[in-house]
Amino acid sequence: MTLTSPIRTERHDDVLVIISNNPPVNALGAAVREGLEAAIKQGTADASITAMVIRCDGRTFFAGADITEFGKPMKGPGLGTVIDMIEASDKPVVAAIHGTALGGGCEVTLGCHYRVAVPSAKIGTPEVKLGLLPGAGGTQRIPRIAGVALALEMTAIGNPISAKRAHDAGLIDRIVGEESLEADAVAFAREVAAKRPLPRASEQTATPDPDAVTAFKAANARKFRGFDAPAANIRCIEKAADGSTFAEGIVFERDEFMKLMMGTQSAAQRYMFFAERQAAKVDDIPEGTQLRSIKSVGVVGAGTMGGGISMNFLQAGIPVTIVETAPDALDRGVATIRRNYDNSAKKGRFTADKVDQLMGLLTPTLDLDALKDCDLIIEAIYENMDVKKELFGKLDAIAKPGAILASNTSYLNVDEIAAATKRPADVIGMHFFSPANVMKLLEVVRGAKTAPDVLATVMALAKPIGKVAVVSGVCPGFIGNRMLSQRQGPANAMLMQGARPDQIDKAIVDFGMPMGPFQMSDLAGVDIGWHRDPTRIESIRDALAAKGRWGQKTGKGFYDYDEKRNPTPSPEVAEIIEEFRSKSNQAKRDFTDDDILAATLYPMVNEGAKILDEGMAQRASDIDTVWIYGYGWPVYRGGPMFWANTVGLDKVVAGLEANGVEVAPLLRRKAEAGERF
């Protein structure tokens, strides 16, 4: 090997240890593949070597392919070629696994004749999460070693499995010492050095299991809806077990892989992989900015949001003081947190002791002064500017110097809230999404006077509490809700032209969203923001609210609901809509799904362009990250701005103009220049 190669070899008498050192995750880039090829050739050619071990320096085994190579001309040997060479060796090759062996890394282990792992190791093939499949023989080797059922789970769902589970399934031959991996692997290699024939996965047979395939498809139908990659993975696993030769299976796998690789869905999912990581980078925070220490958190409000927010910090091991104004509200909030944790314990996610430990970090109180020593205080009360400003004035007097004061507002002006304090530099927006203990998005709203170290601290805090943070400037609704607000108007307008609520919602759901605008209205409450005067009926919503059709909570809204909250179209609502439509003298027209998508989604893209132009978002990919993690936009479409690129910005502009929407200048400029977001 050359001095610059990430691969080196060390002799342990008759065992050659092949070591990768390619930080941070030993990605299987061209130089690594070249080094592995050369090392295997070295071990094979040396008559004094009886066996080989492949291991990695650093924190993990090979954790996957080098994603930056995707879509570019292949340099050096392909991963499949290297794996085939490992498997074809006439001397046993042992994979010594620590950390994670993921994707191509897992496939390397499958090409080895034997696998040993430390107890904490995990292996898996998560390519499906990038819209792909294991393309170096993984779909053909896993079912041959471990059976169809586990192969389906590992490839089509893509979550890694523990070393113990892998051992039980035959994917790992021996669990070895956590601190003695290399020595144990070398000893194991000597044990098997003379054993023949060598166990090669490609020479084994996978047993068909049609019942497992049927059950797997049924169990995951909802999760897989709209995605191409899970079905391709399933087809490959079935191919491995249908009596085809390994070579035939590899040709099939390669064909399916290339279809996915060249498709829009994988491009979107790979784009989002990078977009999520890019969102954490704030361009204008000075390098070397010192973060503030967050060792304790205060939360004002023990309702749904306050309780959910608190849980994030408790699970990160950060003590929380939660404040309410009334004893019953406080008790109710704490009981809800406890119930959520108890339910998790019943599902095996926590032990009972862990629940007690988490609850032990929570201090409930009715005394706002109890927050005086907190490093971060988050306000999670209802959306009323006057009430929030009054609270922040009180917090300003109570909080210690240097404490960060955050508002969970989803819409209100953070600068106006900050102006109620004498420390606007310490004030920031932290918009959690409901349920706050589940949803991954955190919109971090940077005020005009928010200090760089405050912004940097909150962005860094997102990861330990399990959130994906995106920075927004101060504007009504920030990024997500500002764009969402552009969808409802066109949806209502289509009702007046003859479209039905269920027709509009179905087009949006078929596109991949979790629900349409009228389903969302029923879930949130048709009466939210209603003026409460049943005699003042100026809109369809007013008419519904006046009749008590407030949504799911009253069993009827835009839809009628049964006792399980299953919706059906409502004849009463159809009559109300027709009455309004006939009074408006608007002609009825037919709407296709494409018409509905253009009317409702193009205005959101248009608003996204305005957000970018105003500097309210740093980059288009940040907007897409907000929509993927906060609103359920289908990841296989890459977020609204990426999706607009795939549609064609000129087509979006034409659609907006056809619907009478004023086109954002940035969108028009990009469309005319043939550019993309």
Q: What DSSP assignment string belongs to 419-455?
A: TTSS-GGGEEEEEE-SSTTT--EEEEE--TT--HHHH
Pairing between β-strand 567-569 and β-strand 559-561 as defined by DSSP bridges: antiparallel
Token pair 């090669």 is at which residue? 200
User: Cα 331 to chain center, whole Å?
Assistant: 33
CA dist 22 and 663 (Å) reads: 48
Q: What DSSP assignment string belongs to 185-218?
A: HHHHHHHHTT-SS---GGGS-PPP-HHHHHHHHH
Say how many CA atoms lie within 13 Å of 232 toward its Cβ. Answer: 28
- Three-state DSSP class for 677? coil
CA dist 247 and 255 (Å) reads: 13
User: Cα 35 to chain center, whole Å?
Assistant: 34
Give the residue among 449, 99, 439, 283 at the shortest CA–CA distance from 429.
449
In the chain, the amino acid numbered 177 is: G
CA dist 285 and 648 (Å) reads: 34
Q: What interhelical angle do 639-647 and 649-658 show, nearest 10? A: 90
Calculate the dihedral angle through the C-alpha atoms of 473, 475, 479, 481, rounding to the nearest 10 degrees: 150
Pairing between β-strand 376-379 and β-strand 559-561 as defined by DSSP bridges: unpaired
Helix (H) or strand (E) holding 567: strand 567-569
The alpha carbon dihedral of 262, 267, 270, 271 has a sign of: positive
Q: What DSSP assignment string belongs to 335-350?
A: HHHHHHHHHHHHTTSS
CB-based contact 629:441 (threshold 8 Å)? yes
CA dist 459 and 444 (Å) reads: 7
In the chain, the amino acid numbered 280 is: A
Percent helix, strand and coil across the chain, each rounded to 5?
A: 50, 10, 35
CA dist 212 and 383 (Å) reads: 50
Report, as residue numbers or ranges, the catalytic residues.
410, 431, 443, 481
Backbone angles phi, psi at 562, to 5 degrees: -85, -175
CA dist 230 and 215 (Å) reads: 14
User: Cα 19 to chain center, whole Å?
Assistant: 33
Q: What DSSP assignment string belongs to 156-190?
A: II---EEHHHHHHHTS-SEE--TT-HHHHHHHHHH
Question: What residues have CB less than 8 Å from 153, skipping those under 6 apart?
Answer: 159, 216
- Three-state DSSP class for 7? strand
CB-based contact 606:599 (threshold 8 Å)? no
Helix (H) or strand (E) holding 104: helix 104-111
Question: What residues have CB less than 8 Å from 145, skipping those under 6 apart?
Answer: 110, 169, 170, 171, 201, 204
Cβ count within 10 A of residue 501: 27
CB-based contact 122:158 (threshold 8 Å)? no
